[in-house]
Structure 1
């Protein structure tokens, strides 16, 4: 009987312990579920969004314009997807995403201009998160005088009045000397405030106000200028009354005579202005010109046209310049802050005029390409430049530039060097001229074209520029010397 009671009591105790263990396990499971629920909810309310900032899409870019958003809010984005189109200082470039997620909020709308680098333009969230409840990061607070915390304002200490110079010769400005001599006031009474004890015009006027002798004498002042209404009608207004700056015209109304209209400058125009100013103020330009006989090139173009191969004169010029750079590698250099840099590759930049300004796409490795391939590349790049679709690698890194205005009837001109390049070749139109033959007795009509080389005097001296032009003329006048295939 006692044994059975003992066993029953132990069973009850064991059951109570088992119940406590179950309760502990249930509490642990409940705690895990609460923690899981908290973590899931923190993804919504405590999520840190992925920032999308204005990137630097070209080496000289400082700000850009948002042309068009290619993704909408709430749309899934994969790394490498196109987010938006940005107008840089060179062209319109497509910005790609670096992360996977969902585009949660667009902060800079389409058409926004002059967006600085690093500006937050959008935010993204990770997949599975509620993009509608994303937390928008606030920009860094800038303390302004109205928003600054109230502090005890300490009035600035006013400087003590300068001491009167008692020793040494007096130093007076011409205006102060004239005022004091005119009114017969002793200059020793003046308190100099100018540098190194100089008595200024203001010091002389202050002394006149305090001196009793000066109060008795009238202060010489300029006679008042009569207003236009007080002037006689017969006397025309003096030329000085004309304003130096014409008035601004009123938007939406036809411009009145003598007014001007403000035109917004695009990023491309601003960068062109900066680089032209940099080039003309920091690069010592030297110029040399030569006439090239284009008879052989013209005849070769006709022969190629019979075989349905259409190439332009500019394609031969690009090829001749590239071959000449290969023959004279000392011209194929750039200038850096530390000095000249010899280039291993020959990339020819060609100037293309667009509605937004001049841009120079690049024919890469032009020395080893045929004229037909150069022609195809030039046409494709020129069209992309006019459409604003050039990629950064298609207009960065050139070693030599060519600007051709011959199609506009320009006989000859001098071009501005495109830094950090050392040279640019300006090409004019071809013309027919009578020239003496080698026998100096007979005249013959020649098809001549003037080219002008602008060179950086720090890198290409006059002798080297002359040798380059001489070799370039030989290659162009004898195109069979170049590998044209």
Structure 2
């Protein structure tokens, strides 16, 4: 009996993916555990293993296909000796039935009374209701909008109406019968979005040479999650200046000790640990807002922002508060390397209790990061540079100082608790021996 192989959900949030590559072909025999395909999610490319054994009777989705929904049949497995030619037979009947149904539906539609004649351009008083693009085209072509019939929602004039009016031969489409307010609103919004896109393209076509690039799955996910973060989480920002001289001195000593092992600790590795320890010291910031609940974490799993071709990914250093500097250095190097190759597993980049984003290496002095949902805390690290600084004895000197800005979800984290976290972070960085004592 044929077995349908469906697009798997390779992570809890996966809704669709790209079938990047087939590693088998029709007629191949597979066993449980054999790698059948490579599937690209929004963050990584993962291998898909066979669960059953049999012969690949049909491949339904070609490699390279994007936007394949979870649960879609991508291939069919048949038993040894089973006839693969009959695989599609059972599926043809529903399609045929659907085709026979279509004329009946159309016939019913024709029996409905025709809607009333289209009104002239919808107006409020003497004001003609038309989209901005339609008005601009009308002005350029000398078309009087007061005599144009609108085919958009509620008789609104759109681009096609103006072009048809100028030609004088196209028949105007009548507006759809009046519907209830909830049904009309989405239609109006959709038309507005289409018109806006048309307007943008028209401006670009006229003024700037350009190309159009389809969004990748990763970019769509980034756009959706960051918009969600800004819309749902009220951000509060708190900044501190942190002296780095003792941390830099300790880093030099650690790297000299680890040189023979081929391990090199970066400043960011040490800041990851400092944030982890600060979160444990101020657990009120190591939380997630969950509607009527507040989830409190007992360890600090730090998501480290890594820029990769096409977007950004946040691999996780688990239990950063407990790891040594060298262990964090090894973990971040491995995670960043596999992130750029698209080889991370979902549990290596999904989750985390807080995030850190370091743009100091790019020369950025300070910035505010967007919270990585569902987390409630992200720390933005700026570049360290020489600044005038008041020393502990009260004298004025020069020190290496960086700016750090914490972004907090104010639904979950109070300003006073956020301030305590920033103070704890600064204390660990300025007295780095406390992180290894």
TM-score band (shorter)? 0.7 to 0.9
TM-score normalized by structure 1?
Answer: 0.68
In 1: Cα distance, 2:217 partner to 2:380 partner: 25
Given that residues 287 and 452 in structure 1 are in contact (C-alpha distance below 8 angstroms), is that contact kept between their aligned partners in structure 2? Answer: yes
Q: Which residue of 1 aligns with 2:278?
A: 324
Paired residues for 1:394-473 under 5 Å: 394-440=348-394, 442-473=395-426
Q: Confirm or deny that 1:245 pairs with 2:245.
A: no
Q: Confirm or deny that 1:303 pairs with 2:253.
A: yes
> Cα distance, 1:345 vs. partner?
3.3
Q: Which residue of 2 aligns with 1:64?
A: 17
Given that residues 64 and 116 in structure 1 are in contact (C-alpha distance below 8 angstroms), is that contact kept between their aligned partners in structure 2? Answer: yes
In 1: Cα distance, 2:234 partner to 2:241 partner: 24
Q: Which residue of 2 aligns with 1:386?
A: 340
In 2: Cα distance, 1:324 partner to 1:343 partner: 13
Go from structure 1 to structure 2 and tell me whether the alpha carbon gap of 1:244 and 1:264 turns closer, same or farther (over 3 Å shift).
closer
Given that residues 49 and 135 in structure 1 are in contact (C-alpha distance below 8 angstroms), is that contact kept between their aligned partners in structure 2? Answer: yes
> Cα distance, 1:74 vs. partner?
2.1
In 2: Cα distance, 1:144 partner to 1:175 partner: 48
1:130 to 46, 69, 82: 82
Please list every run of 5 or more consecutive structure 1 residues that lacks an aligned counterpart in the other structure. 1-47, 162-171, 177-200, 203-224, 228-242, 250-254
In 2: Cα distance, 1:125 partner to 1:358 partner: 41
Given that residues 74 and 131 in structure 1 are in contact (C-alpha distance below 8 angstroms), is that contact kept between their aligned partners in structure 2? Answer: no
> Cα distance, 1:94 vs. partner?
1.2
Q: Which residue of 2 aligns with 1:156?
A: 112
Go from structure 1 to structure 2 and tell me whether the alpha carbon gap of 1:129 and 1:314 turns closer, same or farther (over 3 Å shift).
same
Go from structure 1 to structure 2 and tell me whether the alpha carbon gap of 1:336 and 1:226 turns closer, same or farther (over 3 Å shift).
closer
1:83 to 24, 29, 36: 36
Go from structure 1 to structure 2 and tell me whether the alpha carbon gap of 1:432 and 1:116 turns closer, same or farther (over 3 Å shift).
same
Given that residues 280 and 299 in structure 2 are in contact (C-alpha distance below 8 angstroms), is that contact kept between their aligned partners in structure 1? Answer: no
Q: Which residue of 1 aligns with 2:323?
A: 369
Paired residues for 1:13-412 under 5 Å: 48-126=1-79, 128-130=80-82, 132-133=84-85, 135-136=87-88, 138=91, 141=95, 148-150=102-104, 153=108, 155-157=111-113, 174-175=125-126, 244-247=199-202, 258-307=208-257, 308=259, 309-412=263-366
Q: Which residue of 2 aligns with 1:21?
A: none
> Cα distance, 1:482 vs. partner?
1.3
In 1: Cα distance, 2:206 partner to 2:126 partner: 44
> Cα distance, 1:460 vs. partner?
0.8
SS of 1:138's equivalent? Answer: helix
Please list every run of 5 or more consecutive structure 2 residues that lacks an aligned counterpart in the other structure. 118-122, 128-145, 148-164, 168-197
Q: Which residue of 1 aligns with 2:139?
A: none
TM-score normalized by structure 2?
Answer: 0.75
Given that residues 60 and 89 in structure 1 are in contact (C-alpha distance below 8 angstroms), is that contact kept between their aligned partners in structure 2? Answer: no
SS of 1:80's equivalent? Answer: coil
> Cα distance, 1:100 vs. partner?
2.0
Given that residues 299 and 321 in structure 2 are in contact (C-alpha distance below 8 angstroms), is that contact kept between their aligned partners in structure 1? Answer: no
> Cα distance, 1:144 vs. partner?
6.4
Go from structure 1 to structure 2 and tell me whether the alpha carbon gap of 1:124 and 1:115 turns closer, same or farther (over 3 Å shift).
same
Go from structure 1 to structure 2 and tell me whether the alpha carbon gap of 1:160 and 1:368 turns closer, same or farther (over 3 Å shift).
closer
SS of 1:55's equivalent? Answer: coil
Given that residues 247 and 259 in structure 1 are in contact (C-alpha distance below 8 angstroms), is that contact kept between their aligned partners in structure 2? Answer: no
Q: In angstroms, what is the RMSD of aligned CA positions?
A: 3.0
SS of 1:150's equivalent? Answer: helix
> Cα distance, 1:78 vs. partner?
2.0
SS of 1:148's equivalent? Answer: helix
In 2: Cα distance, 1:103 partner to 1:246 partner: 45
> Cα distance, 1:439 vs. partner?
4.2
In 2: Cα distance, 1:84 partner to 1:363 partner: 29
Given that residues 363 and 374 in structure 1 are in contact (C-alpha distance below 8 angstroms), is that contact kept between their aligned partners in structure 2? Answer: yes
TM-superposition CA deviations, 1:27-80 (whole Å, max 9, x none)? xxxxxxxxxxxxxxxxxxxxx311111112123322211111122222222222
Q: Which residue of 1 aligns with 2:183?
A: none
In 1: Cα distance, 2:200 partner to 2:100 partner: 36
TM-superposition CA deviations, 1:346-395 (whole Å, max 9, x none)? 21100010102101011111111111011001000001110011111111
SS of 2:398's equivalent? Answer: strand
